[in-house]
Structure 1
């Protein structure tokens, strides 16, 4: 007994010792927040932080402001910055070993490291100065830490210095995140088009006429079910590993703008919540930059992306702006005609040799991996299924990345901001902008290629020269909307425009439109709007999209069906639903799972078809909701999957299967509230690799309200990566909230500082609060 007590005491002492040692080891890489630090600046730079770590940089000029922001980014987020540059350049295996090799091989085909070096040579002198100052700030911020960020100790790796090209790689990484389908969508569409009659292809791939809310008021006409029989290949599922079909694009971001004539204070307002994968720390870093330019004090406030010296979205007191991903068509998949020896491909100028590029991937703990890349004049050589293609992507153009986004910082009017669309090098976004005089506008911000391609949605042969991309569109050719008659604008990753504007943008897998429609109706029906009203629209989790599915489910649950399958409790819980995606709502879970299971039963054969050809239903450019609902309304026997004799049989099976899945997952229907189904998984990238204390790095496993197809998009690790509402010139009433916190260091007071506010819908101020910490960067003699 005495021995056991000594063993327990020794264990406790060891654990305590490890904890104390770990604490002091972690403190070595904790950022310096107060005092003075000698720095490579021309004049003193103040880095002020409020109680939540919101950064204010004050400098004599824009270069020193960039230095200060780079210094702070490195203090708080260097490891995350490193992951972004490595993701784009294909060097993750240097940190993570062979587990990252497949990702590095896939990323190397884009040769972004080489492209970044070329792009840098085309920057203006002014932008180069800002970029150089930012990079010096990053490296000095890293050097200011007593020890490198803790992640490098855990990985047994070095923190490599920041180069000017690395900031370009960070933007290329956003191309990968926002436009990363790499032609998989066009391959899936090609497979489908070749497998079924054209009438059925047109029916399946139509834009939704039920859920549309284009900002130019354009409408699409529904495509009716064809008279021809349903294709047999879409009725009988062949063998497949994963036959669960998925919607092409459920997710994205929200943006709203309201003219001054509709607001309580007469100022135009922009509200923006960008939807991305949510990690700890998050994507965005709150910062205000203050500097003098041409004897005038400049101030711009908003969100920065660690790794780049720009304010991405925010306000400069004259204009405010926000983004949603355009979800337009940025790739073309090109059918290649190869020579018999496979070394050449046919072009309009005859046979051309494939260009070979040789690269070496360094792998932690293993031998280097030699990689041969092949490329055509259009882009890299790529295989899908058993077929060979080339990939044409706007990200490969020389003007895909530049720093003209910085021009928004000093732009004064909405019209001036709209003119920046054609010259800005970022993954093309829907820009909504408002100015202090009450004007608002929309335009694509980023490159738009001039295109002559027979069909943008399927792979085409470019060998005879009839299909090609020309120079990017000029500013005069860009579609724009300025001060619409209704006084409001919105974008939500669905089709935003029709007609000629749509023909310039194409379809990259638009969202269904339910979110956009709900936002539009909120804006038009709320009367006079202010910042708090806009914030409430961002938080709107009414389940309008699922309303018709709930009614369908109630109709399926006839007294006979309810009694036969013992579904009385199920039907009661369904009838008690609040029709919100609320954390405590069980009925919402039942409807959501019923819809998902119904679509799975209907389109499992389609998924099998695509899988057999090396693709997936998630890559299709259309949502399965539109054809599914039309087929449900028509209830034609020939459109039933094999194995079902009538539609009632299919729908009852969807009820029973979805009920069984929930009971297996949660134990009972009573425990199947939406919050358990939608529980937070906001994690640090290394938490799963750290025994015992790894979970400490993660945010709490909170139960989320919100879902797809509603303004409050929120899934376990994807959703509103920020909520911003601001009127230029009226920033004191603005709102800015992020998940997790400013810092990537778990001992920082800012690691979780914003999270509870974001989680509990608290509208934090847009402007930084009172100064609590000040680090003064002074010129190093």
Structure 2
């Protein structure tokens, strides 16, 4: 017994101490969780309060409806902009801070070494300095609006500091980011940042140059990077000849840009849909407009829904936090939408260095010194980095280490960038604020004359007319430009340089066309010869086909038919390509036993043969099709392009169509150069299908009929910072099964690489449909929610509506807003 007791007593004692330690650990954990929740919840905005603020001329009411949309009711324009600034800072202060730090090149001060490359690039582009200089170029009304908006933002920052409101957002507890007062230049800088995020022409130049160096036959370049055929829908010498020194250089491997980089890959450089119908093509008595701009998915969304009362009347629609304007939406007289124009407003130049003095570069008039300035990048927990910024007459010098520039830059040369957004007299902000006050299509087009960047197709309706116009500065090029702006060109040759900016009258526009419908899906809108062309590289050659069919399939349209088109998930690319690549495979195989690759291939082909091309999240066919096309394109180009094939990670329908139709001998891509036999396109299509089925089996299982496109095509609304933090990412990231694809009107652009190449990462972050037969029946939605605070119920409450294709009312009726309000904030004069 003694021995037994001697063993039992210490074990009981150990158990009691383990229980105590475990209880203490649980208690401490609960205290820690409670403390974190308390600190984080302190920054949740109180929407129902009265606050005395300085800087207003009269009391302001901010009525938030049940979706969290602020209705800013003010007696003057100045107070309305003050209220918008305050509302933006209440809900999206961290987002505004992050965008401002990005454009300033100051991310590394809070994130350390991982964002140094992004900061140094932004310092080289110098967008914030250009924005500061552009303040003086704005008209008087815009200056007043910018100042009032900044005062509203700063009123919220002051309130956060004075009342210890959790630093304004939970992220400020994790990242020490001191808040400087908001300035008018900060708002202009954010517009310039958006220009960068929507610009991909210079990346296309690099890709074309790299590809031309890799392909032995010049005609093959036109296969994989063709010009968009046709006259447009609305209603080059070899690179090696230009730079022999670049031939045969080692290619830099393509790689994703650094964390929080605002520079998109070419496939992600903005997209959108917009279309309008005149009264003769609508079932009601008014005009119609639908718009859904496409951006990268984030949590929260880029867009923030808001309503303002101006002297000219109420305005409601989508804003970007940090920018004092309804950028798309409607007023009492007008509705407007925007789509990326794909204007070729960027050119790269190869600048020759003086071999005797690398501080000079060659110009048409001889050697000239770079304009230089030193800039210090402060880095958290590391020594600062000093960057020497260099500018030529053409633009800022870009580092060879970025964007695979090393592979196309000859020794003794550097690369500079010409871009319309690099203007220190940028009046885009004045144009955006003026547009809210326009009262007709003609007035809107006139007010847009001063818009610079990012270039957009502006679609506008009033109660009688419809119209569409390209807004943005168009570079004037010489007809003798060596590459026509399609590839980097020698910067010292006068004819390659920009000759200025074309007058606004050169921008194409359409008003009240005979057919009664205008629209844009980022497609080619007009066929004009160089140098007054718009672009050689457009964002769409497929969606426009489906849009045209849907618009012309009805004699008249309604709000609901426009919504139907916005949510359409039929892929015209699938309908075109499947009959081509499968024509020799369908119904031609021999009988094969269950479990063999041949039998599995037959089952996949049978499913695809009966499919209508609808990229529905619940169907297996979209996944089989997408995996097949991805494997097929890789087999077609891998042996010719080598590692460069990784940069072609999205399907190029025109290329595949050219190959399988053998346009100008394009079927040569089907033969594997490094193999002895001569492969046919049928051989490659069959092998690619087998590749796809093996990949599907490894990733999703062998039951083809049970596959779901939505499992692969999940929309990723990830928090740009907290989305990578363990545990927190489960609270901040929003994932949703979605329909659509790369080429559907309900566009869901896929990631293109990695473990989940079909993840949905870019699409309609805002949808709006405006009906002037009954303006208050207009509707809109954003892809997440109004709040940037992950503890708020408005963080993701709109996301499920967006996923299901639902909308919320877009009314200017003040009584409706008050009836459904979740709080009224009163900003009163002290």
In the alignment, structure 1 residue 641 sits paired with structure 2 residue 669: no
CA deviations on 1:81-136 (whole Å, 9 max, x unpaired) are: 11112222211111211111111112211011211111112222322111111111
Say if 1:421 and 1:475, in contact at 8 Å, map to a contact too: no
Q: Which ranges of structure 2 fall in alignment gaps of 5 or more residues?
A: 1-14, 236-249, 257-264, 750-759
In structure 2, relative to structure 1, the CA distance for the partners of 1:661 and 1:757 (3 Å cut) is: same
Distance 2:639 2:545 in 1: 31
Alignment partner, residue 406 of structure 1? 433
Structure 1 residue corresponding to 2:359, chosen from 343, 352, 375: 343
**Where does 1:530-541 land on structure 2 (aligned, <5 Å)?**
530-541=558-569
Alpha-carbon offset, residue 448 of structure 1 = 1.7
Alpha-carbon offset, residue 609 of structure 1 = 7.1
Say if 1:112 and 1:172, in contact at 8 Å, map to a contact too: yes
Alignment partner, residue 230 of structure 1? none
In the alignment, structure 1 residue 468 sits paired with structure 2 residue 497: yes
Structure 2 residue corresponding to 1:522, chosen from 546, 550, 565: 550
Say if 1:576 and 1:587, in contact at 8 Å, map to a contact too: no
Structure 1 residue corresponding to 2:802, chosen from 745, 753, 758: 758
Alpha-carbon offset, residue 691 of structure 1 = 3.3
In structure 2, relative to structure 1, the CA distance for the partners of 1:495 and 1:374 (3 Å cut) is: same
Alignment partner, residue 713 of structure 2? 678
**Where does 1:650-665 land on structure 2 (aligned, <5 Å)?**
650-665=684-699
Alpha-carbon offset, residue 198 of structure 1 = 4.1
Say if 2:723 and 2:732, in contact at 8 Å, map to a contact too: no
**Where does 1:482-501 land on structure 2 (aligned, <5 Å)?**
482-499=511-528
Distance 2:255 2:449 in 1: 42
In the alignment, structure 1 residue 448 sits paired with structure 2 residue 471: no
Alpha-carbon offset, residue 48 of structure 1 = 0.6
In structure 2, relative to structure 1, the CA distance for the partners of 1:360 and 1:729 (3 Å cut) is: farther
Structure 2 residue corresponding to 1:167, chosen from 147, 162, 187: 187
Secondary structure of the residue that 1:166 maps to in structure 2?
helix
Say if 1:243 and 1:605, in contact at 8 Å, map to a contact too: no
Alpha-carbon offset, residue 392 of structure 1 = 0.8
**Where does 1:38-437 land on structure 2 (aligned, <5 Å)?**
38-39=52-53, 40-145=55-160, 146-148=165-167, 149-181=169-201, 183-193=202-212, 195-209=215-229, 214-215=233-234, 252-292=271-311, 298-341=313-356, 342-382=358-398, 383=400, 384-385=405-406, 386-387=409-410, 388-400=414-426, 401-437=428-464
Distance 1:189 1:322 in 2: 31
Say if 1:248 and 1:617, in contact at 8 Å, map to a contact too: no
Alpha-carbon offset, residue 411 of structure 1 = 0.9
Distance 1:608 1:64 in 2: 59
CA deviations on 1:426-477 (whole Å, 9 max, x unpaired) are: 311001111112x111111122222223412122224242233233222333
**What is the root-mean-square deviation in Å for CA atoms of aligned residues?**
2.7
In the alignment, structure 1 residue 26 sits paired with structure 2 residue 30: no
In structure 2, relative to structure 1, the CA distance for the partners of 1:604 and 1:247 (3 Å cut) is: farther
In structure 2, relative to structure 1, the CA distance for the partners of 1:413 and 1:637 (3 Å cut) is: closer
Alpha-carbon offset, residue 485 of structure 1 = 1.4
Alignment partner, residue 604 of structure 1? 638
Distance 1:243 1:597 in 2: 20
Distance 1:324 1:636 in 2: 33
Secondary structure of the residue that 2:715 maps to in structure 1?
coil
Alignment partner, residue 599 of structure 2? 566
In the alignment, structure 1 residue 697 sits paired with structure 2 residue 732: yes
Distance 1:561 1:343 in 2: 70
Distance 2:196 2:787 in 1: 24
Alignment partner, residue 232 of structure 1? none
In structure 2, relative to structure 1, the CA distance for the partners of 1:345 and 1:66 (3 Å cut) is: same
Distance 2:318 2:103 in 1: 22
Alpha-carbon offset, residue 557 of structure 1 = 4.7
Alignment partner, residue 623 of structure 2? 589
Say if 1:606 and 1:617, in contact at 8 Å, map to a contact too: no
Alignment partner, residue 714 of structure 1? 748
Distance 2:64 2:527 in 1: 46
Say if 2:616 and 2:709, in contact at 8 Å, map to a contact too: yes
Say if 1:213 and 1:516, in contact at 8 Å, map to a contact too: no
Alpha-carbon offset, residue 6 of structure 1 = 4.4
Distance 1:208 1:589 in 2: 27
Say if 1:247 and 1:624, in contact at 8 Å, map to a contact too: no
Alignment partner, residue 233 of structure 1? none
Alpha-carbon offset, residue 203 of structure 1 = 4.5
Alpha-carbon offset, residue 207 of structure 1 = 2.8
In structure 2, relative to structure 1, the CA distance for the partners of 1:76 and 1:659 (3 Å cut) is: same
In the alignment, structure 1 residue 553 sits paired with structure 2 residue 574: no
Say if 1:74 and 1:142, in contact at 8 Å, map to a contact too: yes
Say if 2:391 and 2:397, in contact at 8 Å, map to a contact too: yes
Secondary structure of the residue that 1:68 maps to in structure 2?
helix
Instruction: Choose between structure 1 and 2 for higher RCO, CA contacts under 8 A separated by at least 6 residues.
Output: 1
Alpha-carbon offset, residue 686 of structure 1 = 2.8
CA deviations on 1:586-613 (whole Å, 9 max, x unpaired) are: 11111111111111111124543758xx
Alpha-carbon offset, residue 578 of structure 1 = 5.3
Alpha-carbon offset, residue 365 of structure 1 = 1.5
Distance 2:661 2:703 in 1: 29
Say if 1:63 and 1:133, in contact at 8 Å, map to a contact too: yes
In structure 2, relative to structure 1, the CA distance for the partners of 1:669 and 1:495 (3 Å cut) is: farther
Alpha-carbon offset, residue 575 of structure 1 = 4.4
Structure 2 residue corresponding to 1:745, chosen from 785, 789, 792: 789
Q: Which has the larger radius of gyration?
A: 2
Alpha-carbon offset, residue 662 of structure 1 = 1.4
Distance 2:364 2:132 in 1: 30
CA deviations on 1:202-236 (whole Å, 9 max, x unpaired) are: 444333449x86125xxxxxxxxxxxxxxxxxxxx
Alignment partner, residue 702 of structure 2? 668
Say if 2:473 and 2:504, in contact at 8 Å, map to a contact too: no
Say if 1:405 and 1:425, in contact at 8 Å, map to a contact too: no
Secondary structure of the residue that 1:494 maps to in structure 2?
coil
Alpha-carbon offset, residue 617 of structure 1 = 4.3
Alpha-carbon offset, residue 736 of structure 1 = 0.3
CA deviations on 1:48-79 (whole Å, 9 max, x unpaired) are: 10011111111111111111000000010011
Say if 1:249 and 1:509, in contact at 8 Å, map to a contact too: no
Say if 1:436 and 1:727, in contact at 8 Å, map to a contact too: no
Deviates more, 1:6-15 or 1:150-159: 6-15
Deviates more, 1:194-203 or 1:391-400: 194-203
Say if 1:687 and 1:695, in contact at 8 Å, map to a contact too: no
Structure 1 residue corresponding to 2:771, chosen from 727, 750, 753: 727
CA deviations on 1:557-578 (whole Å, 9 max, x unpaired) are: 5553673633244344434545
